[in-house]
């Protein structure tokens, strides 16, 4: 069984080594980290996948990094979903366990967003995590 965390809303400068350092600083364990990049430009697409050794470790990573502030954004961390679409292996997409109403899903997952897709740009004070991260980098 795979325990993969989707880590999103990353700045484009974040590398796999940065994420590994963040995990080590929090005493969290990962088997692997992959930052997803544009094939042509090699620039980060702003998200990564972190392979955790156990479900408990996966949940710890999610609790620590979901909505953690970094620069002017909040990181997103949640269990990775199986690939979908034409590039996905046949049978890879699991049946959805979410309610059928897509609008209900959208508002539940993103309560901080306005109805028309706007973002809440309120600045929050830097956390201890962001301060420590700035020291490392």
| Four-way CATH pick for 1-83+124-137: 1.20.1250.20, 3.30.70.330, 3.10.580.10, 3.40.50.2300 | 3.30.70.330
- Residue 125's Cβ-side half-sphere holds a number of Cα atoms within 13 Å equal to 2
Q: Residue 60's pLDDT band (boundaries 50, 70, 90)? A: very high
Q: Are 52 and 33 in contact (CB under 8 A)?
A: no
How far apart (Å, rounded) are the C-alpha atoms in residues 46 and 49? 11
pTM above 0.75, yes or no: no
pLDDT of 9 strictly over 60:
yes
Q: Residue 86's pLDDT band (boundaries 50, 70, 90)? A: low
Q: Are 67 and 26 in contact (CB under 8 A)?
A: no
Task: For 106-121, write each residue's pLDDT tens digit.
Answer: 444 445 544 444 444 4
Ordered by start, the domain boundaries in the chain are 1-83+124-137
- Per-residue pLDDT, averaged over 36-50, amounts to 95
Residue 87 is predicted with a pLDDT of: 60
Residue 24 is predicted with a pLDDT of: 95
């Amino acid at each position: 069984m795979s325990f993969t965390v989707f880590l999103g809303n990353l700045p484009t400068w974040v590398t796999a080594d940065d994420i590994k350092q963040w995990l080590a600083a929090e005493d969290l364990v990962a088997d692997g980290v992959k930052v997803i990049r544009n094939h042509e430009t090699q620039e980060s697409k702003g998200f990564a996948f972190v392979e955790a050794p156990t479900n408990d470790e996966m949940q710890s990573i999610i609790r620590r990094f979901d909505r953690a502030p970094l620069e002017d954004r909040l990181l997103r961390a949640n269990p990775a979903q199986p690939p979908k679409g034409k590039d996905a292996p046949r049978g890879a997409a699991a049946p959805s366990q979410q309610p059928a109403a897509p609008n209900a899903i959208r508002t539940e997952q993103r309560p901080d967003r306005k109805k028309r897709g706007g973002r809440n740009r309120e600045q929050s004070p830097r956390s201890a995590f962001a301060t420590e991260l700035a020291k490392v980098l």
